C-alpha cells in the first residue's frame, strides 16, 4: 500500500510538471500594439479599426501605444526588445523596410529581430497641393520646382517615414532642388499643406481623401502603379510624368522574433478573419485601402523583397538621415 501511494504521488508530480509546461491560453491579458506614428495618422486609424474587432472577438483589449519618432524606429526599438510572448506587437508601414538603409546606428535588425505576422492593407500615397498654389498637374508642379529652384519645399510625416521616402524618390527621379520639411505626423503635415506653407506633400490616401473631397487640397497623382478606386479621376505619378514610379504605402503586423510560432500563426489567422469581414472591408475601402492578409511565411518573404527594393532605391539616390 505504501509503494502504491508513492506511485500515485510520483504520477501526480509528473502530471503537474507536464501541465506547467503547457502554454497558457492566448491571449489571457491585454495586448499592446505599438504604432510608431501619431494618433490620427492613417496607420493609427487602421490599427485601431482592426484592434476593435480583435478585442471584441478575443475578449481581451488590444491597446494602441503610439511611440512616435524617427520614421517609426523609436517604436520599432521598443517592440524589438519586448518579451516575445505575443503581448507586444508592432504595427508598421513600408517605412519599416527602409530603416536599415537609412539609419547607420539602428538599434535593431529589420529582418532578424522581427517575425512577420501578416500584411494588413495596400494603399497609395497621394501627391497634393493647396488650391492657392494654382497647380493642376504633376508636370506643372515639376515646372514650378525647376523655375524656382531652391525655393520650393515638400513635407513629410517625419524623417524616414514612407511619406518622406516617397518625396525623396520623386525629388531624385527629376533631380529637383527642393527642401524637405519633416513633421510630427500626417495630421500636422496636411494642415500646413492646406495653408500653402508646404508647397506639396505625399500623404496616405485615407488621411487625404476628406481634404480632396472638400477641395481644401488638390490631388495631382497617386503613387501606386494603378489608379485608386477612391480617386479614379486622379492619374498615377507614372502615367503623369515619371514612368516606372511606384510606392505602395502598405501596413502590416510584426511580433518580436522569438515569439512562439503557434502564437504568430494564431495572430495571423485572426488578422485574416478580421480583414475578410464585410464591414471592415467597406470601412477600409472608404479610406482608399485594400485588405491584403497573408500568412507569416508569405509576409516574411514579402518584407525581405521590399527591404531589397527600397534599399536599392535609397542607396541609388544617396538618401541619408543626418
Q: Count of CB atoms within 10 A of residue 32's CB? A: 16
What pLDDT digit, counting tens, does each position of 5-44 carry? 555 454 455 444 444 444 468 999 999 999 999 899 999 9
User: How many whole angstroms separate alpha carbon 316 and alpha carbon 196?
Assistant: 31
Residue bearing the bigger pLDDT, 309 or 64 = 64
> Region 211-240: what's the mean pLDDT?
96
User: How many whole angstroms separate alpha carbon 202 and alpha carbon 133?
Assistant: 16
Cell of 162: 514612407
Q: Is the model's pLDDT at 211 over the cut of 90?
A: yes
Q: Between 3.40.190.150, 3.40.190.10, 3.40.50.300, 3.30.465.10, what CATH number should domain 31-123+250-317 receive?
A: 3.40.190.150
> Region 35-64: what's the mean pLDDT?
95
Burial 54-88 (b: 16+ CB within 10 A, else e): bbeeeebebebbbbbbbbbbbbbbbbbebebbbbb
> Region 261-277: what's the mean pLDDT?
98
Pairing of strands 152-156, 178-182: parallel
Order the strands of the 88-93 sheet from edge to edge: 62-66, 31-35, 88-93, 251-256, 114-122, 290-291
Domain ranges of the chain: 31-123+250-317, 125-240
Order the strands of the 218-222 sheet from edge to edge: 178-182, 152-156, 200-204, 125-129, 218-222
Q: What is the mean pLDDT of the chain?
A: 91
Query: Among 160-174, 206-220, 269-283, where is mean pLDDT lowest?
Result: 160-174
Architecture of domain 125-240: 3-Layer(aba) Sandwich (3.40)
Closest Cα partner for 317 from 168, 209, 182? 168
Give SS3 for 320. coil
Q: Do domains 31-123+250-317 and 125-240 have the same CATH topology?
A: yes
Q: Count of CB atoms within 10 A of residue 297's CB? A: 11
Give SS3 for 90. strand
Residue bearing the bigger pLDDT, 161 or 188 = 188
The helix (run of H) or strand (run of E) holding residue 156 is strand 152-156
Q: Count of CB atoms within 10 A of residue 6's CB? A: 10
The CA distances from residue 18 to 8, 9, 126, 259, in Å, are: 15, 14, 55, 21
Cell of 69: 519618432
What pLDDT digit, counting tens, does each position of 76-134 carry? 999 999 999 999 999 999 989 999 898 888 999 999 999 999 999 999 999 999 999 99
Cell of 104: 547607420
Q: What is the pLDDT of residue 319?
A: 74
Give the pLDDT band (50/70/90) at residue 262: very high
Check whether the bond before 27 is cis (ω within 30° of 0): yes
Amino acid at each position: 500500500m505504501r509503494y502504491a501511494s508513492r506511485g500515485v504521488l510520483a504520477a501526480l508530480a509528473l502530471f503537474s510538471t507536464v501541465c506547467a509546461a503547457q502554454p497558457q491560453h492566448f491571449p489571457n491579458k491585454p495586448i499592446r500594439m505599438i504604432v510608431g506614428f501619431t494618433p490620427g495618422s492613417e496607420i493609427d486609424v487602421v490599427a485601431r479599426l482592426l484592434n476593435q474587432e480583435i478585442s471584441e472577438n478575443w475578449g481581451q483589449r488590444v491597446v494602441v501605444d503610439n511611440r512616435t519618432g524617427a520614421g517609426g524606429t523609436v517604436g520599432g526599438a521598443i517592440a524589438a526588445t519586448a518579451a516575445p510572448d505575443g503581448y507586444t506587437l508592432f504595427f508598421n508601414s513600408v517605412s519599416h523596410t527602409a530603416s536599415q538603409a537609412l539609419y547607420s546606428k539602428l538599434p535593431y535588425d529589420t529582418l532578424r529581430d522581427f517575425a512577420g505576422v501578416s500584411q494588413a492593407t495596400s494603399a497609395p500615397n497621394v501627391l497634393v497641393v493647396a488650391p492657392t498654389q494654382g497647380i493642376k498637374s504633376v508636370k506643372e508642379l515639376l515646372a514650378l520646382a525647376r523655375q524656382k529652384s531652391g525655393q520650393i519645399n515638400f513635407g513629410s510625416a517625419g524623417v524616414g517615414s514612407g511619406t518622406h521616402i516617397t518625396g525623396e524618390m520623386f525629388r531624385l527621379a527629376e533631380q529637383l532642388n527642393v527642401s524637405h520639411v519633416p513633421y510630427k505626423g500626417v495630421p500636422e503635415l496636411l494642415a500646413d499643406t492646406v495653408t500653402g506653407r508646404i508647397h506639396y506633400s505625399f500623404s496616405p490616401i485615407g488621411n487625404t481623401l476628406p481634404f480632396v473631397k472638400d477641395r481644401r487640397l488638390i490631388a495631382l497623382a497617386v503613387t501606386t502603379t494603378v489608379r485608386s478606386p477612391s480617386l479614379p479621376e486622379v492619374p498615377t505619378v507614372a502615367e503623369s510624368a515619371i514612368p516606372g514610379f511606384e510606392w505602395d504605402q502598405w501596413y502590416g503586423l510584426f511580433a518580436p522574433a522569438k515569439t512562439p510560432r503557434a502564437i504568430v500563426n494564431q495572430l495571423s489567422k485572426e488578422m485574416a478573419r478580421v480583414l475578410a469581414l464585410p464591414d471592415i472591408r467597406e470601412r477600409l475601402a472608404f479610406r482608399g485601402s485594400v485588405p491584403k492578409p497573408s500568412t507569416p511565411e508569405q509576409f516574411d518573404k514579402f518584407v525581405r523583397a521590399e527591404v531589397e527594393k527600397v534599399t536599392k532605391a535609397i542607396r541609388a539616390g544617396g538618401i541619408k538621415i543626418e
